[in-house]
């Protein structure tokens, strides 16, 4: 040892270089190889997953429109105290911005942005921009105030000034059914316009219901799969996995055929006299339909982790419990079930997270009371084009999933989760 | 077996088939006395574990009746039989601590808390694991887990404890240590034990009696010494201990002895007639290696045959000599490394002698 240790206590390799450096050199090749193997997937995830997520999250706070497209007005409003309609210099700047915006055809974006905060402002901006082309000389204040009655509203100016800031929490307020009040304070939306809070609660409740139903349905099946002889369990596994091999759309439409009021299930109910022909059950295009179809689709995600955990539990544990005098029920509850908790946890987290963000099935079979928050996000992405709000809703969803994950880690420990 | 009332376990012509075509256990009969340590010994697939599982209640008997304390138990479910069991891989519940594992059989019997903790501590002390109660099974070594499993099977004071190859997963030294420990626990508690193993030294060390299984049948049921010294058939002779086999034909039977002409041109030898069909039948002669003397002078022992030394292995206390004798070149003689023993050379021709009483003529 002594001759391999330098004066400073550093262990040296045979050639006199520090052992650590030597080891690093020896390991470098392996490390490079590992990075190369991971690189393609990493790049794919980066471009198809991480960058879009950051982009959408950024859009949920981004507020460039007013500041960029109405730079002069923004600057002029900086010193405005908000107590009264601004003075002439602000209007000079406003007219210049409106004229420039009308010319570049960009002013509509400002209108759209302001309209999210207070409806009617899009019309005000676009019509004023059109009319501003005819304004040749000042003073502008009186002329602009005459263009649209909203210019005479103090709240309009408050909204414009608030949105000269480059970032906003307006979308998030909107996503949790709040808004800025007339004097810039944060207030709840009026009762009839609160939709997202209810939708979030409904999404969580439906996801929870689906998770619970999945546990109840998957547990006995997984137990059977884990205990049957291999040739039977293989066959059963094929039945469990069959949904995976069928298109999601086909499965969902099959449920429509099954569950609709003239569908197979209702026909059977009527045939056996369980319900009257006039009072056929409404099983689809509502909450029931969403829960039935999503449970069916997500069931394998519960079965697989449960199965893989149960497969590792030797039957001798149950035998040992029986030989020690526990009746079969006690043995099952006290000895078998606790050992499957990691599987229940893994399956539940998986199913819950998947169902919280589920989109296509609720869209097809959900009707009005069976749609989830993801359908609302899709609506804002595709129809209303309010990407900021879509981003805010998505970010809240993401944050709540992460919070759940952390909570799970705190209670159960993520290391105890076994997916297979 | 002294008295019928002393019999705790009784198998009465028990048969077992899994597929309805072949019998895994064919006509099994066994009486286990109270306080006895009986081992079922046999190669894998001989039906010994199946018999244990039928006794524990995990496998139904296809035919026949099993009695526990005089009561037929074929229709009693396992949890009502009150039989302690130690499994091959211990089957300690991984989500419970050692103390919780031991408390489990007491809790399901609705015992009071203080009584439970008293009994659990007593059981832990019995297996010298006091202070380990808060550990998880995974934090214990194999031998410690084994002792916990034994303690758990005993803590509720069952009258019968079954052990299914409990030492199979341990290394050799630990296995021997545990053999003595289980033997001592058996002696201290006077509990009846039925033990299954394929390891003959385990069986010989611990048991009062051993049932040697093969092919679904008990080949011989006897105390260890009798099993080794007086095997009743060729399987038992070959399975227990080391054994030299010579094949031949019975030429004459004279009382307890018979004359056998060896195959391979060894000539006539005299042997104890144990299990032969009569004059003219084939027989297997069984001779323990330590009962043969090497370099014996002609006429010194009843049988004396010429042999060629093939191989000598020095083992310290004895020299293991492989010789070829009457066409059998796997014939082993143990030469004790005593003062003035015969010094052999490989390739040397010598005389092997043995007494007629030590050579048993068994079934072919």
Q: pLDDT averaged over consecutive 10-residue blocks of chain B (364 residues)? A: 68 90 89 92 88 92 91 92 90 93 94 92 89 91 90 92 88 87 90 91 90 88 90 88 86 84 79 81 87 74 82 86 84 83 79 84 82
Whether B169 and chain A come into contact, CB under 8 Å, resolves to: no
Question: Does residue A347 fall inside a structural domain?
Answer: yes
Question: pLDDT at position A81, please?
Answer: 84
Q: Please name the residue of chain B whose CA is at the shortest distance from the CA of residue A330.
A: B108
Domain boundary among B209, B234, B259: B234
B65 shares its domain with B208: yes
Whether B85 and chain A come into contact, CB under 8 Å, resolves to: yes
Whether B105 and chain A come into contact, CB under 8 Å, resolves to: yes
Q: Which residues of chain A are at the B interface, by a Cβ-Cβ cutoff of 8 Å?
A: 314, 316-317, 319-328, 330-331, 334-335, 338-339
Interface-testing mutation among B80, B97, B108, with chain A (most A C-beta atoms within 10 A): B108
B246 shares its domain with B230: no
Question: Does residue A182 fall inside a structural domain?
Answer: no
B151 shares its domain with B179: yes
Question: Does residue A222 fall inside a structural domain?
Answer: yes
A28 shares its domain with A44: yes
Contact flag B93-A317 (C-beta cutoff 8 Å)? yes
Which residues in chain A have Cβ-Cβ distances shorter than 8 Å to B83? 323
Which residues in chain B have Cβ-Cβ distances shorter than 8 Å to A314? 89, 91
Question: pLDDT at position B299, please?
Answer: 66
**What CATH number does residue B260 fall under?**
2.40.50.140
Is B55:B85 a contact under the CB 8 Å cutoff? no
Q: Which helix (H) or strand (E) holds A269?
A: helix A264-271
How many residue pairs from chains A and B have C-beta atoms closer than 8 A? Answer: 67
A239 shares its domain with A379: yes
Whether B157 and chain A come into contact, CB under 8 Å, resolves to: no
B212 shares its domain with B83: yes
**Residue A51, pLDDT above cutoff 90:** yes
Model ipTM? 0.81
B224 shares its domain with B91: yes
Whether B116 and chain A come into contact, CB under 8 Å, resolves to: no
**What CATH number does residue B128 fall under?**
3.40.50.300
B12 shares its domain with B78: yes
Contact flag B93-A321 (C-beta cutoff 8 Å)? yes
| CA-based radius of gyration for chain B | 25
**pLDDT tens digit sequence for A312-341:** 998 899 999 999 999 999 999 999 999 998
A274 shares its domain with A346: yes
Contact flag B87-A328 (C-beta cutoff 8 Å)? no
Interface-testing mutation among B56, B95, B156, with chain A (most A C-beta atoms within 10 A): B95
A214: Cα separation from own chain's centroid: 21
Q: How far apart are CA A234 and CA A307, in angstroms?
A: 12
B285 shares its domain with B193: no
Question: Does residue A79 fall inside a structural domain?
Answer: yes
Domain boundary among B234, B254, B285: B234
Q: How far apart are CA B319 and CA B298, in angstroms?
A: 22
A46 shares its domain with A126: no
Question: Does residue A173 fall inside a structural domain?
Answer: no
A292 shares its domain with A256: yes
A202 shares its domain with A161: no
A339: Cα separation from own chain's centroid: 32
Which one of A323, A328, A338 has the shortest CB-CB distance to B95? A338
Q: How far apart are CA A136 and CA B265, in angstroms?
A: 136
| Closest to B163 in 3D by CA, of B203, B112, B109 | B203
**A34 backbone dihedrals φ, ψ, rounded to 5°:** -60, -45
The CA distance from A312 to the nearest CA of chain B, in Å, is 12
**B274 backbone dihedrals φ, ψ, rounded to 5°:** -105, -50
Question: Does residue A185 fall inside a structural domain?
Answer: no
Burial of A19 (0-12, 13-18, 19+ CB in 10 A): middle
**Residue A6, pLDDT above cutoff 60:** no
Contact flag A317-B91 (C-beta cutoff 8 Å)? yes
A266 shares its domain with A351: yes
Query: What is the extent of the structural domain holding A388?
Result: 196-416
pLDDT bracket for residue A415 (50, 70, 90): low
The owner of tokens 């909570």 is A407
Question: pLDDT at position A247, please?
Answer: 87
**Number of compact structural domains in chain B:** 2
Contact flag B85-A325 (C-beta cutoff 8 Å)? no
B177 shares its domain with B260: no
B154 shares its domain with B228: yes
Question: Does residue A364 fall inside a structural domain?
Answer: yes
Question: In DSSP terms, which residues pair with B287 in a beta bridge?
Answer: B244
Which one of A314, A322, A334 has the shortest CB-CB distance to B79? A322
A289 shares its domain with A400: yes
Question: pLDDT at position A249, please?
Answer: 86
Question: Does residue A186 fall inside a structural domain?
Answer: no
- Average pLDDT over every residue of A390-405: 91
Whether B56 and chain A come into contact, CB under 8 Å, resolves to: yes
A325 shares its domain with A210: yes
| Closest to B26 in 3D by CA, of B214, B275, B238 | B214
Q: How far apart are CA A393 and CA A59, in angstroms?
A: 11
Burial of B292 (0-12, 13-18, 19+ CB in 10 A): buried
Supply the DSSP symbol for A167: B
Q: Please name the residue of chain B whose CA is at the shortest distance from the CA of residue A314.
A: B91
B191 shares its domain with B275: no
Domain boundary among B216, B234, B252: B234
A159 shares its domain with A295: no
**Number of compact structural domains in chain A:** 3
CA dihedral B345, B349, B351, B352 (to 10 degrees): 70
Q: Which residue pairs, CB below 8 angstroms and at least 24 apart, start in A236-240?
A: A237/A307, A240/A299, A240/A300, A240/A303, A240/A304
A141 shares its domain with A242: no
- Residue A220 makes CB contacts below 8 A (sequence gap 6+) with none
The CA distance from B164 to the nearest CA of chain A, in Å, is 11
The H-assigned helical ranges of A46-104 are 51-59, 64-69, 71-77, 88-104
B256 shares its domain with B205: no
Average predicted confidence (pLDDT) for chain A = 88
Query: What is the extent of the structural domain holding B54?
Result: 4-234
A223 shares its domain with A299: yes
Cα end-to-end span (Å), chain B: 31
């Amino acid at each position: 040892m002594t001759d391999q240790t330098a004066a400073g206590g550093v262990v040296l390799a045979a050639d006199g270089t520090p052992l650590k450096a030597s080891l690093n050199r020896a390991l470098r090749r392996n490390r490079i190889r590992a990075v190369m193997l991971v690189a393609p997937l990493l790049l794919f995830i980066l471009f198809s997953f991480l960058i879009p997520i950051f982009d959408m999250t950024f859009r949920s706070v981004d507020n460039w429109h007013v500041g960029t497209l109405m730079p002069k007005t923004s600057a002029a409003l900086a010193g405005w105290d908000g107590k009264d309609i601004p003075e002439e210099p602000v209007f000079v700047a406003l007219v210049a911005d409106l004229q420039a915006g009308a010319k570049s055809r960009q002013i509509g974006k400002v209108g759209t942005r302001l309209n999210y905060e207070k409806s009617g402002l899009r019309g005000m901006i676009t019509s004023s921009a059109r009319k501003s082309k005819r304004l040749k000389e000042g003073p502008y204040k009186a002329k602009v105030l005459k263009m649209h009655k909203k210019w005479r509203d103090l709240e309009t100016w408050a909204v414009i000034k608030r949105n000269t800031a480059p970032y906003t929490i307006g979308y998030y307020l909107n996503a949790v059914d709040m808004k800025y009040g007339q004097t810039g304070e944060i207030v709840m939306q009026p009762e009839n316009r609160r939709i997202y809070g209810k939708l979030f609660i409904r999404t969580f409740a439906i996801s929870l219901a689906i998770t619970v139903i999945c546990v109840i349905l998957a547990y006995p099946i997984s137990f059977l799969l884990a205990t049957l002889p291999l040739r039977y369990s293989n066959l059963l596994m094929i039945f469990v996995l069959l949904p995976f091999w069928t298109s999601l759309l086909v499965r969902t439409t099959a449920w429509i055929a099954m569950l609709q009021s003239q569908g197979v299930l209702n026909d059977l109910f009527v045939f056996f006299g369980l319900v009257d022909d006039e009072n056929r059950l409404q099983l689809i295009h509502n909450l029931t339909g969403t829960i039935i179809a999503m449970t069916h689709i997500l069931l394998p995600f519960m079965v697989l982790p449960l199965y893989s955990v149960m497969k590792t539990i030797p039957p001798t544990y149950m035998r040992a419990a029986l030989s020690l005098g526990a009746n079969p029920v006690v043995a099952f509850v006290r000895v078998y079930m606790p050992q499957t908790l990691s599987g229940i946890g893994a399956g539940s987290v998986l199913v819950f997270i998947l169902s919280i963000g589920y989109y296509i099935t609720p869209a097809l079979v959900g009707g009005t009371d069976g749609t989830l928050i993801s359908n609302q996000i899709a609506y804002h992405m595709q129809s209303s084009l309010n990407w900021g709000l879509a981003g805010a809703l998505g970010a809240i969803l993401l944050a709540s999933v992460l919070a759940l994950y952390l909570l799970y880690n705190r209670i159960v420990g993520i290391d105890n989760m076994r997916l297979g | 077996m002294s008295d019928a009332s002393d019999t705790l376990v009784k198998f009465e012509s028990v048969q077992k088939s899994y597929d309805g075509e072949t019998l895994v256990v064919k006509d099994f009969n066994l009486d286990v006395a109270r306080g006895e340590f009986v081992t079922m010994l046999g190669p894998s697939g001989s039906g010994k574990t199946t018999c244990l599982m039928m006794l524990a209640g995990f496998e139904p008997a296809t035919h026949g009746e099993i009695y526990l304390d005089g009561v037929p138990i074929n229709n009693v479910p396992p949890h009502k039989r009150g039989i302690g069991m130690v499994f091959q891989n211990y089957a300690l519940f991984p989500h419970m601590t050692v103390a919780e594992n031991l408390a489990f059989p007491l809790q399901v019997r609705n015992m009071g808390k203080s009584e439970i903790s008293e009994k659990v501590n007593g059981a832990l002390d019995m297996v010298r694991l006091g202070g380990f109660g808060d550990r998880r099974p995974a934090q214990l070594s194999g031998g410690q887990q084994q002792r916990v499993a034994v303690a758990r099977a005993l803590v509720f004071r069952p009258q019968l404890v079954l052990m299914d190859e409990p030492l199979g997963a341990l290394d050799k030294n630990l296995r021997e240590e545990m053999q003595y420990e289980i033997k001592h626990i058996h002696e201290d508690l006077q509990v009846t034990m039925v033990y299954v193993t394929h390891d003959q030294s385990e069986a010989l060390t611990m048991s009062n009696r051993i049932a040697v299984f093969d092919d679904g049948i008990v080949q011989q049921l006897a105390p260890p010494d009798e099993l080794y010294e007086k095997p009743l058939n060729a399987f038992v002779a070959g399975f227990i201990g080391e054994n030299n086999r010579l094949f031949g034909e019975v030429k004459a039977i004279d009382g307890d002895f018979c004359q056998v002409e060896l195959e391979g041109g060894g000539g006539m030898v005299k042997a104890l007639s144990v299990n032969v069909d009569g004059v003219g039948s084939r027989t297997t002669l069984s001779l323990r290696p330590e009962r043969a003397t090497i370099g014996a002078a002609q006429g010194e022992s009843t049988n004396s045959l010429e042999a060629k030394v093939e191989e000598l292995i020095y083992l310290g206390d004895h020299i293991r000599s492989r010789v070829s004798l009457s066409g059998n070149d796997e014939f082993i003689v143990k030469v004790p490394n005593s003062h003035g023993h015969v010094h052999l050379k490989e390739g040397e021709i010598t005389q092997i002698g043995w007494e007629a009483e030590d050579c048993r003529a068994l079934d072919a």
